[in-house]
Amino acid sequence: MTQLGPITLQRFQGDESFHEKGRPLSYDLMSFWQWSSSDLLSNITRGIMAEYLVANAIGIADGVREEWAAYDLQTAEGLKIEVKSASYVQRWQQAKLSQVSFRVPKTRSWDSDTGQLSSLPRRQADVYVFALLAHTEQSSLDPLDVSQWQFYVLPTSVLDNRKRSQHSITLPSLLKLTGGYVGYSDLKLAIERVGRVSGA
């Protein structure tokens, strides 16, 4: 069998119609997005939204998200960024607010051009952005309101040099390591500053 190369990603508009051999059906791609992604509080969708917020903050949201990339985002200057998300409030019934922690394991990267995994696990990005949907009032929770988000930015080297868990990090640990969060309007500058520190 002839090997199949990677398929180039394309950015859709949303008005593309589902069809049957060219005959348009009564629904389009936007309706699929609405059906599949309207639960903004689900862990998966919230995580993708956090990536999108960061991408917009640094001006690189005009492309297409690549699901299996070794890291989440890359700037024009080559800075590689990993985005992690968490929230105090979940969509399901809660006895109390969620305890915030973020998974930060080392991984083996996968190359979509070769279809191969790297041999050794490591953290693939230069910078980590921890995005916390920090609003705690369920009745007014709005993930689309960027003022309800907090962002903690760290160079990967700080995570690599931690003496504690290499698999996850808690919010108190992030506070100690970062000195505090930045709001959405300051996120771009914070990423640029940490990127310079990381030497990337």
What band does 106 get if pLDDT is binned at 50, 70 and 90? confident
For 189, phi then psi, to 5°, come to -65, -40
Asked whether the whole model's pTM tops 0.95, one would answer no
In a domain, 42, yes or no: yes
- Mean pLDDT over 53-76 rounds to 94
pLDDT at 1 over 70: no
Q: What is the pLDDT of residue 200?
A: 60
In a domain, 8, yes or no: no
Show the tokens assigned to 124.
């693939």
User: Domain limits at 55?
Assistant: 21-198
- Cβ proximity of 77 and 83 under 8 Å: no
What band does 108 get if pLDDT is binned at 50, 70 and 90? confident
> 46-56 burial, b for 16+ CB within 10 Å, e for fewer?
bbbbbbebbbe
In a domain, 80, yes or no: yes
pLDDT digits (tens, 9 = 90+) for 19-59: 999 999 999 999 999 999 999 999 999 999 999 999 999 99
Number of domains in the chain: 1
Q: What is the pLDDT of residue 7?
A: 86
In a domain, 10, yes or no: no
For 65, phi then psi, to 5°, come to -65, 135
Mean pLDDT of the chain: 93
CA distance to 167, 181, 197, per residue, from 103 (Å):
6, 18, 23
Q: How many CB atoms lie within 10 A of CB 103?
A: 10
In a domain, 1, yes or no: no
- How far apart CA 45 and CA 9 sit, in angstroms, is 20
Residues 6+ apart with CB under 8 A from 23: none
In a domain, 11, yes or no: no
In a domain, 58, yes or no: yes
Adjacency order of strands within the sheet including 73-74: 73-74, 80-87, 127-133, 149-155
